[in-house]
Structure 1
Amino acid sequence: MKKLIILSLSFLAFYACKKNNETAKTDTNSSPKTYAEISIAQGGEWVDGPRGHKEYKNGTSFKNVTEFNVPEQHTDHSWYVRYEGPGWENSKVGYRLYLDWRNAIDIFGKKVDSLVLPYVGQNGFDSYHEPSAWGQDILKAGKSMGIGGFGRLVSDTIVHFREVENTIATIENTKNSAAVNIHYKNWKTGNDSIDLKAKLSIFQEDRFTKAELTPSKEISGISTGIVIAKGIDVIKKEGSKWAYIATYGKQTLASPPDNLGMALFYNLEEVESQTLGEHDHLVTFKPSTKTVTYYFLGAWEQELGGIKTEAEFKTYLDGLLNELNSKNTL
């Protein structure tokens, strides 16, 4: 019965989203094709939780904000931020970042070409793990950085964001793109401390997110990567200026698991190494104070017009790689 209720509510959310899009068809040029948000619980209070940290309980609603200063008591599963962090999407795919110590990036697989994030997680905090008319959360990040998340490699271990003095996220929705900007102040890893600025942008076309990281000082080990999935091999290809790593196969949270392709494109001049980590296929950047840029994407077979085979996925990636090597941007 509980699952039936969740599916029914998900359908209503999808129907509302569809109706909004139908209304907007009278002016398709002005209707948004990309969207980013962060949504905070309202009407509740912070209480002591069973795991020894604070939880936000008895919230009555969520409110979207354009700037969010992460409170000290917020951590994973504190029920304060809808779907646990900022989200961004276009007609093909959605992503979210866990805005806590994990700092991993997850994928929302979409079965529709309308914008759905405003309805995700409104009918139960974890409801997006269940299949619905719009799609679902399809990636298990675990202890990894997910797809395109970032951390620091210290002594063969990725250090996430357990020690940060302050984190501020801002949302940017424009005519042609949407972005999440995050400023991590005094991020401590090993014996070092830096400020790090990150910008995650999505555009009207294609599936990729453009990631830009700007450290306040030169520091070794800044890394990104793709979560390691059991039994799934890594695909690698280099061009003249750019390269990619990718995985493809039955590596989703769908039941039964179905095909998902994930890829990460990086500039060879900016990268120190590409290695196998404990939880991630890693790309580690050279120490620099300049902004480093990379791209990541997820391609789910259930999306409208989705990629169905590994051969199709490789052809698609090779096309993007050729574009990067010729234009240096996507």
Structure 2
Amino acid sequence: MLKTNSIRLSALVFVLFACNPAVEESSPQILLKNQSSIDLKDKGVIIDFKDLKSEANKFLHIADAEGNSVAYQIDDVNGDGIPDQLFMLVDLKADEEKSLDITWVDSQPKFEQRTAVRFGKRDDIDQPVTPRQEDLFFSHELPKSMGYQPYQTDGPSWENDKVGFRHYFDGRNSKDLFGKKTSKMSPKDVGVNDKGEVEDNYHVMEDWGRDILAVGNSVGLGGITLLKDDQPARLGVLVDEEMSNIYQSSFKIMAEGPIRSIMEFEYRDWDAFDRKYPRIVERVSIVPGMYAYKNEVMFEGLHGDEHLAVGLVNIHNDKGIKEITDFDDWVILMTHDAQGYDKEWIIGMALILPKGQYMEMIEAPKSGKLTDSYLAKMKSESEKTIEYYAVGAWELSEDRFMEAAGFERYLRDLVAHLEAEVSVSIQ
């Protein structure tokens, strides 16, 4: 809530200012209060950018009481070309109150790069891959029909300082997992050889890590579809098909910054259940410090007898799935097993789902175009957004993920972090 200073022109204040003309009005401050009883590290805080009263041709600087710079970025999250949101990361002790000073400076502050998006495409088999910010293709423009794979890593990949993911934007629309062994961002040329050609070079171990998850015909880790009578219809097709059931698919990088990256996928005119769904939107975002990404999903044109299904790949999992329901706002579905390509690594995976929309977990059919998945069945309304988190934790990232108990403890801490509230005011 925006607060403004009011100056009472009392006689005492008038005298003080008259006697000391060097006194200046203090800088604006952001006041934070941790409303929870847990310590918070890298807690995301969002402020409406217009509340900051920016100065022309100046850059924002935010500092704590000790003068330490606070990492932030300013994004256009509604896509109208005008910056509208300040996002920053803060550390707060349990119940702590903290004030941050706002000043406007001549140069842009620099922050450590802790999130990134990688997206490249070639327009012909003989052309090199070039970086792109967005893309659009139609139902007949699939790798099988064109005779080559146009996309670097089969579609966009995104990461933070803990983990990486990718989306098969080549018609399959499933989501994959990159394990990381370093907090640094992985190279921009992953998935491209020295000739600029698309190449699968990310299934071998590198210093930064590698692709670690077998996805098959599932929707992967956090991929989506719809259910009708508990039967799924794949949002897209398999790799060997020449025509998609989605008329138009588009992708855009909305923001790529040091502490937050945001991407948007849009699907137009999807044929499923002998119906046509005019528009489906996924907005994926990632911030530092967590082994997870956030997805916001919206369907238009629902008839009322469908349910959103969020998937959790189930190919190399022999230990089943665990449902954790003792949180106020969220439900956790978790798996933990040797889930690497050849069962060579322990991987913990989870969905963190809004409790108010979660109904039950079902399994995908054993055959068909969508298999090998646990599916979280959600209450769904047309044009209503559902938000959830998809988590991937590799044993080579942290030793605690080798054991199911360690992974579950991490998930519980993460949900407590998500549920914790921080009050924000400006004065």
The answer, yes or no, to whether TM exceeds 0.5 is yes
Q: Which has the larger displacement, 226-235 or 319-328?
A: 319-328
Q: Tell me whether 1:281 sits opposite 2:362 in the alignment.
A: no
1:39 counterpart (117, 120, 128): 120
Q: What does residue 47 of structure 1 align with?
A: none
1:87 counterpart (152, 157, 160): 157
Q: What does residue 193 of structure 1 align with?
A: 276
Q: Tell me whether 1:148 sits opposite 2:214 in the alignment.
A: no
In the alignment, the residues of structure 2 paired with residue 41 and residue 234 of structure 1 have an alpha-carbon distance, to the nearest angstrom, of 40
Q: What does residue 312 of structure 2 align with?
A: 226
Deviation at 1:325, TM superposition (A): 4.4
Q: What does residue 112 of structure 1 align with?
A: 182
In the alignment, the residues of structure 1 paired with residue 274 and residue 233 of structure 2 have an alpha-carbon distance, to the nearest angstrom, of 12
Q: Trace 1:12-23 onto structure 2 (pairs within 5 A).
A: none
Q: What does residue 26 of structure 2 align with?
A: none
Q: Tell me whether 1:247 sits opposite 2:335 in the alignment.
A: yes
2:415 counterpart (302, 321, 324): 321
Count of aligned residue pairs for this structure pair = 287
Deviation at 1:125, TM superposition (A): 1.1
Q: Tell me whether 1:65 sits opposite 2:109 in the alignment.
A: no
Q: Which amino acid letter does the alignment assign opposite residue 169 of structure 2?
A: L
Deviation at 1:295, TM superposition (A): 0.3
In the alignment, the residues of structure 2 paired with residue 250 and residue 28 of structure 1 have an alpha-carbon distance, to the nearest angstrom, of 43
Q: What does residue 52 of structure 1 align with?
A: none
Q: Trace 1:168-317 onto structure 2 (pairs within 5 A).
A: 168-171=250-253, 172-194=255-277, 195-219=279-303, 220-229=306-315, 230-238=317-325, 239-253=327-341, 257-278=344-365, 279-288=372-381, 289-303=383-397, 307-317=401-411
- Asked which structure has the greater CA Rg, the reply is 2
Structure 1, residues 228-251: CA drift from partner, whole Å, max 9, x if none? 134132121012221010111111
In the alignment, the residues of structure 2 paired with residue 327 and residue 153 of structure 1 have an alpha-carbon distance, to the nearest angstrom, of 33
Structure 1 residues 76, 224: CA separation in 2 closer, same or farther (over 3 Å shift)?
Answer: farther
Contact kept in structure 1, 2:400 and 2:406, CA below 8 Å: no
Identity of aligned residues (%): 24
In the alignment, the residues of structure 1 paired with residue 129 and residue 267 of structure 2 have an alpha-carbon distance, to the nearest angstrom, of 24
Contact kept in structure 2, 1:95 and 1:106, CA below 8 Å: yes
1:165 counterpart (234, 238, 247): 247
Q: What RMSD, in angstroms, separates the aligned Cα atoms of the two structures?
A: 2.3
Contact kept in structure 2, 1:36 and 1:87, CA below 8 Å: yes
Structure 1, residues 7-58: CA drift from partner, whole Å, max 9, x if none? xxxxxxxxxxxxxxxxxxxx9942321011321025x3xxxxxxxxxxxx23
Deviation at 1:174, TM superposition (A): 3.0
> Following TM superposition, where does structure 1 have runs of at least 4 consecutive aligned residues deviating by more than 6 angstroms?
none
Aligned residue for 1:319, secondary structure, equals: helix
Q: What does residue 136 of structure 1 align with?
A: 210
TM-score by length of 2: 0.63
Q: Which amino acid letter does the alignment assign opposite residue 163 of structure 1?
A: N
Structure 1 residues 115, 182: CA separation in 2 closer, same or farther (over 3 Å shift)?
Answer: same
TM-score by length of 1: 0.80
Contact kept in structure 2, 1:300 and 1:306, CA below 8 Å: no
Q: What does residue 72 of structure 2 align with?
A: none
Contact kept in structure 1, 2:322 and 2:335, CA below 8 Å: yes
Contact kept in structure 2, 1:88 and 1:180, CA below 8 Å: no
Structure 1 residues 117, 304: CA separation in 2 closer, same or farther (over 3 Å shift)?
Answer: farther
Aligned residue for 1:129, secondary structure, equals: coil
In the alignment, the residues of structure 1 paired with residue 288 and residue 415 of structure 2 have an alpha-carbon distance, to the nearest angstrom, of 19
Aligned residue for 1:269, secondary structure, equals: coil
Q: Which has the larger displacement, 124-133 or 206-215?
A: 124-133
**Gaps spanning 5+ residues in structure 2: where?**
1-107, 237-243, 366-371, 423-427
Aligned residue for 1:252, secondary structure, equals: coil
Structure 1, residues 199-224: CA drift from partner, whole Å, max 9, x if none? 01000221110100011233512211
Deviation at 1:327, TM superposition (A): 4.4
Deviation at 1:318, TM superposition (A): 1.2
Q: Which has the larger displacement, 291-300 or 112-121?
A: 112-121
Structure 1, residues 294-313: CA drift from partner, whole Å, max 9, x if none? 00110011126663321110
In the alignment, the residues of structure 1 paired with residue 275 and residue 336 of structure 2 have an alpha-carbon distance, to the nearest angstrom, of 36
Deviation at 1:173, TM superposition (A): 1.0
**Gaps spanning 5+ residues in structure 1: where?**
1-26, 45-56
Contact kept in structure 2, 1:209 and 1:296, CA below 8 Å: yes
Structure 1 residues 282, 181: CA separation in 2 closer, same or farther (over 3 Å shift)?
Answer: same
In the alignment, the residues of structure 2 paired with residue 248 and residue 256 of structure 1 have an alpha-carbon distance, to the nearest angstrom, of 12
In the alignment, the residues of structure 2 paired with residue 28 and residue 301 of structure 1 have an alpha-carbon distance, to the nearest angstrom, of 35
Contact kept in structure 1, 2:139 and 2:246, CA below 8 Å: no
Deviation at 1:76, TM superposition (A): 5.1
Q: Which amino acid letter does the alignment assign opposite residue 79 of structure 1?
A: Q
Q: Tell me whether 1:99 sits opposite 2:169 in the alignment.
A: yes
